[in-house]
Structure formats: structure tokens, C-alpha cells
């Protein structure tokens, strides 16, 4: 089923910091895999990579229980695009009738979410919060502030979100996909010979606010499990930016390294655009673009 030519990747309804939308075409055309086994994505985040690749059999997992529950709810039809439309239309009215300060209706939904953990509230928060972040405090409570736009849910945005949910409903149809809340170590225990795993762990040395904290030990363990594991792999990591190079490359003695470049926007100013070279380490048997890889030093 892979490699796949993807020009404009589709975007899923739940966004997250570190989302790989822009890298989907690069990832899709760099890997080859016969699709015989199962596709694993143990750090699914938004799911943008696997959803665009559309494997027949897949196990998507993450330690963030709310992301997993959201997609399980779509799968069981507890949430449908129709339900999302009605829900957002109702909530939009309440949001627009409150101020953009700490008394905003947003905070009422945030408190409700921290009590009840409803997937619809999670979607509402993700699409009206500050910068599409997902962040939790050390008690496990969602604590992203309001994006300060009470008129956020205009008709066009609601339709956009509804279409994103409808897209996920459509690609799930007829597929053998499972969504499981578990740490990457558990996912590795399930992998077999013909499987393929796409890995996009949190970047080390950076605070990211994800549900779980990431550490040097995890990074070392993950590199080891990946290289010793039975499944073919593609592993995303940052390679270098204008200030420094990734010092964790030395853990990789196996596989081939492909690099690309893209810009991160930090703030609105053009001068704040930061060039980042992103890398993909791919197991030998799964490398598609043999002519463009750079050997690892």
C-alpha cells in the first residue's frame, strides 16, 4: 500500500502541538511497506500521519486517554459528524454570549471536561483554546487557556470541523483499526515481523505539556526497542535548527536517515520564522527513495 503520493494531507479534528501535517507527503513517499501486517502508531497525537496513509490494519495508541476515547467514540458512532454539528452550534451560542476573560463559557466547559471527560467537550476545548495546544497540569487536569475569541465558532469553522469528523468516519469504514490507550512499550510487545511502525515521540529537552512527561531514559529505550524490534520502522526526529543539532542521533546505528526542511512559525513576525531540519530514520527494508538518503555518520 505504500509509498503513497499525498500532495495535500487532510487534517483531523483534534490538533496537537508537534502535529506532522506538513511532513505527511515526505513521510508517505519515503517509506515502502507491503501492508501485509499491522501498521502501528504508538504516539498517535492527532493521528494525521496514519489517517492519511490509510493502512488496512492498524493499532493507533497514545498515553493521552482523551485522544483515544475521542476516536473510539467515532468508531462506535457515539459521536457522528451530525452530532458534532448540533453540539458545536449550541455551544457556539453560549460561547459568544460570554466575555473573552476568565468568566468565559470556555472555562465552564473546561471544568466540566475535567469532571466528566466527554469527547465532545474535548473537541470544543481543542478548537477554541489557545493555539490548539493539548496541555495538562500535574494533577492530570486540562489547563489550556481560552483562545480569547468568543465568536470563534462561525458557521464556516463548524462546517470545517464537521467535515474533518466526517473524513475520519469515512476512512475508518471497512478498516481493521484499533485505538488503545497505552505507553509505547506495550505497543512494541504487540509488533510482529510484517508490521510497520511510525514513531513520533515527544522531542527530548523540550517542555511540551503532553499528558505524560518524556525523558532521556524513554528516548534511549525507544531507540533500542525500535532497532531491535521485528517491525519495519520510520522514526521522526528533529535533526538541527539554526542554534543546535540533535545530540541524540548517536543512538541510531541502524536504518537510513532522510532529512527535509521546514519552517516553524513562532509568533507573527516574518523574522520569527525558524528553519528546522526534520529527519526520518527508516529501517533499510522500508526505505523507498534509495537515491536520496544520506548515510548516517
Closest CA to 23 of 48, 2, 58, 60: 48
Taking the complex as a whole, the smallest distance from the CB of residue 290 to ligand SAM amounts, in Å, to 25
By CB under 6 A, tell whether 210 contacts ligand SAM: yes
How many residues in the shown chain lie near ligand SAM by CB under 6 A? 23
Query: Quick one: how far is CA 185 from the chain centroid?
Result: 18
Residues of this chain, 26-55, that bind ligand SAM according to CB under 6 A:
42-43, 45-46, 48-49
By CB under 6 A, tell whether 136 contacts ligand SAM: no
In this complex, which beta carbon is closest to ligand SAM, that of residue 55 or of residue 202?
Answer: 202
Q: Which of 136, 167, 211, 252 binds ligand SAM (CB under 6 A)?
A: 211
Q: Which of 153, 214, 233, 238 binds ligand SAM (CB under 6 A)?
A: 214
Helix or strand run (H / E) with residue 41: strand 39-41
- Whether the Cβ atoms of residue 50 and residue 61 lie closer than 8 Å to each other: no
- Whether the Cβ atoms of residue 83 and residue 120 lie closer than 8 Å to each other: yes
SS3 label, residue 58: strand
In SS3 terms, 231-289 reads as: CEEEEEEEEEECCCECCCHHHCCCCEEEEEEEEEECCCCHHHEEEEEEEEEECHHHECC
By CB under 6 A, tell whether 179 contacts ligand SAM: no
Residues of this chain, 45-104, that bind ligand SAM according to CB under 6 A:
45-46, 48-49, 62-64
Given the rule CB under 6 A, which of 88-96, 107-115, 194-202, 223-231 is the region that contacts ligand SAM?
194-202
Taking the complex as a whole, the smallest distance from the CB of residue 70 to ligand SAM amounts, in Å, to 12
Q: Which of 16, 58, 88, 258 binds ligand SAM (CB under 6 A)?
A: 16
Phi, psi (degrees; rounded to nearest 5) at 201: -70, 165
In this complex, which beta carbon is closest to ligand SAM, that of residue 13 or of residue 150?
Answer: 13
Amino acid at each position: 500500500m505504500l509509498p503513497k503520493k499525498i500532495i495535500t494531507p487532510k487534517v483531523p479534528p483534534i490538533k496537537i502541538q508537534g502535529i506532522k501535517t506538513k511532513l505527511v507527503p515526505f513521510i508517505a513517499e519515503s517509506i515502502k511497506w507491503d501492508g501485509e501486517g499491522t501498521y502501528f502508531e504508538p504516539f498517535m497525537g492527532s493521528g494525521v500521519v496514519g489517517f492519511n496513509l490509510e493502512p488496512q490494519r492498524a493499532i493507533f495508541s497514545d498515553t493521552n486517554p482523551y485522544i483515544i476515547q475521542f476516536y473510539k467514540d467515532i468508531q462506535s458512532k457515539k459521536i457522528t459528524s451530525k452530532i458534532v454539528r448540533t453540539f458545536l452550534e449550541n455551544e457556539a451560542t453560549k460561547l459568544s454570549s460570554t466575555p473573552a476573560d476568565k468568566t468565559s463559557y470556555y472555562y465552564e466547559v473546561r471544568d466540566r471536561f475535567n469532571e466528566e471527560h466527554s469527547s465532545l467537550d474535548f473537541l470544543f476545548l481543542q478548537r477554541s483554546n489557545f493555539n490548539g495546544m493539548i496541555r495538562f497540569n500535574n494533577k492530570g487536569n486540562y489547563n489550556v487557556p481560552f483562545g480569547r475569541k468568543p465568536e470563534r465558532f462561525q458557521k464556516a469553522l463548524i462546517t470545517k470541523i464537521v467535515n474533518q469528523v466526517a473524513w475520519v468516519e469515512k476512512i475508518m469504514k471497512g478498516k481493521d483499526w484499533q485505538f488503545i490507550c497505552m505507553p509505547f512499550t506495550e505497543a512494541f510487545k504487540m509488533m510482529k515481523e510484517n508490521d510497520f511502525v511510525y514513531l513520533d515521540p515527544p522531542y527530548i529537552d523540550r517542555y511540551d505539556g503532553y499528558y505524560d512527561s518524556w525523558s532521556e531514559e524513554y528516548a534511549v529505550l525507544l531507540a533500542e526497542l525500535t532497532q531491535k524490534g521485528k517491525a519495519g520502522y520510520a522514526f521522526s526526529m528533529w535533526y538541527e535548527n539554526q542554534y543546535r543539532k540533535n545530540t541524540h542521533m548517536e543512538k541510531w546505528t541502524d536504518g537510513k536517515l532522510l532529512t527535509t526542511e521546514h519552517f516553524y512559525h513562532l509568533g507573527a513576525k516574518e523574522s520569527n520564522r525558524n528553519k528546522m531540519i526534520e529527519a526520518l530514520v527508516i529501517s533499510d527494508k522500508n526505505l523507498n527513495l534509495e537515491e536520496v538518503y544520506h548515510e548516517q555518520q
